[in-house]
Structure 1
Amino acid sequence: MCIISTAKDGTLQLEDEPMKQIEQIDQPLVVVAIAGLYRTGKSYLMNCLAGETKGFPLGNTTESETKGIWAWCRIHPIINNQVLLLLDTEGLGDIAKGNNDHDNKIFVTAALLCNVLVYNMMSTFNQDAIEKLTFISEMSKHIIFANGGNNTDEKFDLILPTFVLCLRDFSLDMKKDGRNLTQDEYLEDCLELKPGRGKEIEKFNRPRDCIRRYFPKRKCFTFDRPGSRAVMKRLETARKEELSEDFLEETEIFLQYMYNCKPKVILGSKPFQGKMFKKLAETYISDIRSGVIPDVDDAIQMVANMENERMANIAVEEFKAKLQAIQLPILQVQKFSNLYTDIQNAILANFRSEAMFESEKFEKRAL
């Protein structure tokens, strides 16, 4: 279902009904978003992650099929009590739109909402391909940290997702100085900065520096061509026997890595559930629609406040239930006082273990 749609005037808007459904999820979410230029096979990879051949629409024309951001929730295939929330984004670089600012907003929104960002592109990760990653180079203009101080890079590590580069129809031998490179080594080699100064060197280094800075956790996968052109046009209905063995093997390696990614957490601590995801999405989209640069610190604090209030309400109900369960009469005042204090301390200890930063005001309200 579409959770973030693109209006005719290009503004982003949150869709209420699917967000209400996501809000009901009370298990940790592994949020995987995919981005990339249109017509590069993004939706196929997401359908594979969902364990289906159909779901997110695959297009075979020169127009972007997906508009806005679409979501698909699936029970995690290998980890109990977790949910995969898959986000398929509008294809970037669609000439028909001709709006780089819109692409930047789609990309940044997806990056802020997920904990694993798959960037899908065709062929090699060469200079031309890297220069087209304007969405990454422009990220600093679309994100602010109100309380960033000098630790902004550290916050990028905590807030922004693992960056997974998928290179489709890849046919090069990955070698350097006569030595075979792993896929991850190939990525890091492509991101090496040139020493020196000057406009050309700055142009070469800027997108690489942005990727290295914003996405300190990086992974790379390469995929062989799936099959003939005729097969590629109908990937949704193609049988496994029609697909390249190398492609199937590479896809399986990609899936196993993705299935072992941990849930999205808030500043490295508490796993996101449906209510928290909805609140985060509402905050970011509200900022973007208002023409305000999303403030990550503010958004996370709002999520934390909501979650702390929820936990405080639970603590109050547990406290009442424990008091009501006391067997009366208790004739010694001191014995009752000790029992009351023990119950209160146990409930507080549980609340503190679940609550997030700046929870003192909710603690006082609760008990």
Structure 2
Amino acid sequence: MKPNAKSYTLLKNCSNNDNKVNGAPDEAHQPYPGTPCPIPVLKVSDERRFELDIDALEAILLRDSIRDKPLVVVSIAGDFRKGKSFMLNFFLRYLQSSCGTTDDWLGSTDTSMKGFAWRGGAKLVTTGILMWSEPFVIKLDDGQEVAIVLMDTQGAFDSEYTFSDSATVFALSTMTSSIQVFNLMHNLQEDNLQMLQFFAEYGRLALESTGDIPFQKLMFLIRDWSFPYDHPYGQSGGDMFLEEKLAIKEKQPIELQRIRQNIRAYFSDIGCYLMPYPGREVAINKDFDGRVADIDSEFVDYLKTFVPLMLDPKNVVVKEIGGRQVTGKDLLEYFKVYYNVLKSGTLPEPSSMLEATAEANNLAAVLTAKDAYLATMEAICGKGEKCMSPTNLLKFNEKLRADAIKQFDEIKKFGGREFSTAYKNKLMADLDQTFDTIASLNAIKFSEYNKRLCF
């Protein structure tokens, strides 16, 4: 089958991977449309400006299999060269094995690691934001089908990018994900908590606006934890450690107290996991290619616990904004509006991000209502020779139009009634314009139908 324009976008982006790093395609496995691979959705231009690749996002998020499905968006963020992409490839293995339905989801211990590009050393590998081209559709315990989307992010605080650049990537990642893994080395420092301050102020405004906690799951992943005698490796030790770190003390400066209060208030689920050192082979062998056999067994044991903790169907978190589940087509709108606010390279006021959320939220409601209208219209007078008398079509449109407007009104939205009025007017104008096109085509088909009856 000939690939469409979206497929060519994926082909082009997959082919742009750097073949010199681990996980990237090699000459023996050249990508072609349909081959899963990491796709840059937030790129870095030659002028060091971030650019959103809308075509790439559409190719992933608007595919039929997930366009209207709720999403679980898993992102990993943190300082550069701390093993984020390396860890994300274990997420891939788990999902590719049908969410660990077999005990050996890690696969062969003697197989090199493929997926998101990674390598040892001090040089930056990932830039911008990458999204795995093929979301994973799973079924939750309640029978609902959702799609898991994996995102890899540029490491923060390297020598080539500014603090604002790092904050922009971190902000876009956190705003669009339902599970944010904050990957840190050795410890959780105060400056790591400071990175979350922007979201705390946004969270306050969002909570006041909707009554819903704005952010969902935040997992601090501490790599190469060196103090297992104080707090043991794994989730239990991590949660005890996090309780100590987020404890509010009487003599703490007010600013530090407020950060801790806000993190707890505006994320619905906060956790911490302590990972051991993966071993000398991983850390210092420049030829290490990700084979599990070369990783310390203790690290592998805790890896087998951590990955299901994030991705097992009973543990995943569906992305919600304003109390409403986010679908593939919705997430596309959120990416667009958040990028427009963040693209200046400086962090905006939290109120601007709130307005952007309200805009995307209302646009998503317009799309949902319009899609329902179009689906029914398509069924009665769409493809082929389907048609009806213009009088009946007009009556049918009146009902469908009213249903679409009612559906828009019933969707929970950011911004309040006054803010939504402009989007409701847009929906009505779109419906009227769409009907004019449908009515014209229907009139032609109906005329042809009557001509055939005369012969």
Pairwise TM-score range, normalised by the shorter structure: 0.7 to 0.9
Aligned length: 337
1:120 equivalent among 183, 197, 200: 183
Q: What is residue 301 of structure 2 aligned with on the other side?
A: 249
Give 1:5's aligned amino acid. K
Taking a change above 3 Å as real, the CA distance of residues 250 and 149 of structure 1, as seen in their structure-2 partners, is closer
Q: Which runs of 5+ in 2 are unaligned?
A: 1-38, 97-112, 387-391, 413-419, 436-455
Aligned residue for 1:264?
Answer: 319
Q: 2:366 aligns with which of 290, 305, 317?
A: 305
Letter in 1 for 2:298: D
Deviations 1:62-86 (A, max 9, x none): 2322111111134537538543211
Inter-partner Cα distance in structure 2 for 1:236 and 1:152: 50
SS in 2 for 1:216: strand
Per-residue CA deviation, residues 240-288 of structure 1 (Å, 9 max, x unaligned), is 2322222112112222122230332342333412x22212111111222
TM-score by length of 1: 0.76
Find the aligned partners of 1:150 and 1:277 in 2 and give their Cα distance.
20
Q: Contact 1:227–1:244 at 8 Å: present in 2 too?
A: yes
Out of 143, 160, 176, the residue aligned to residue 96 of structure 1 is 160
1 CA distance for matches of 2:48 and 2:203? 22
Q: State which drifts further: 256-265 or 99-108.
A: 256-265
- Which residue among 8, 11, 14 is the counterpart of 2:49? 11
Selected match of 1:44 from 75, 86, 91: 86
- Among 227, 250, 255, the residue aligned to 2:279: 227
Measure how far apart 1:35 and its partner are.
Answer: 0.5
| Secondary structure of residue in 2 paired with 1:91 | coil
Q: How does 1:296-335 map to 2 (within 5 A)?
A: 296-318=357-379
Kept in 2: contact 1:136–1:210 (CA 8 A):
no
Determine the C-alpha separation between the residues in 1 that align with 2:206 and 2:226: 44
Structure 1 gaps, min length 5: 326-335
The 1:181–1:71 alpha-carbon spacing in structure 2 relative to 1, beyond 3 Å, is: closer
The 5 A counterparts of 1:173-192 are: 173=228, 182-192=237-247
Q: Secondary structure of 1:303's partner?
A: helix
- Structure 2 letter corresponding to 1:306: L
Contact 1:137 1:206 in 2 (8 A): no
Could you tell me which of 163, 180, 183 is aligned with 2:218? 163
Q: Say whether 1:66 aligns with 2:126.
A: yes
- The match for 2:99 is none
- The one-character-per-residue Cα deviations of 1:112-155 (angstroms, maximum 9, x if unpaired) are 11111000011232xxx2324432123357x589xx48725944
AA aligned opposite 1:310? D
Query: RMSD of aligned C-alpha atoms?
Result: 3.9
Task: Measure the CA separation in 2 of the matches of 1:315 and 1:354.
Answer: 19
SS at match of 1:104: helix
Distance 1:202 1:153 in 2: 27
C-alpha separation between the residues in 1 aligned to 2:269 and 2:326? 18
Structure with more contact order per residue of length (Cα contacts < 8 Å, sep ≥ 6): 1
Sort the Cα spacing of 1:30 and 1:171 in 2 relative to 1 into closer, same or farther, 3 A: same
**2:417 matched residue in structure 1:** none
Which residue of 115, 120, 131 corresponds with 1:55? 115
The share of aligned pairs that are identical, in percent, is 19
Q: 8 Å contact 1:115–1:263 — kept in the other structure?
A: yes
CA offset at residue 166 of structure 1? 0.6
CA distance in structure 2 between the aligned counterparts of 1:213 and 1:46, rounded to whole angstroms: 28
Residue equivalent to 1:217: 269
Kindly state the Cα deviation for residue 171 of structure 1 after the two structures are TM-superposed: 3.3
- Name whichever of 185-194 and 227-236 sits farther off: 227-236
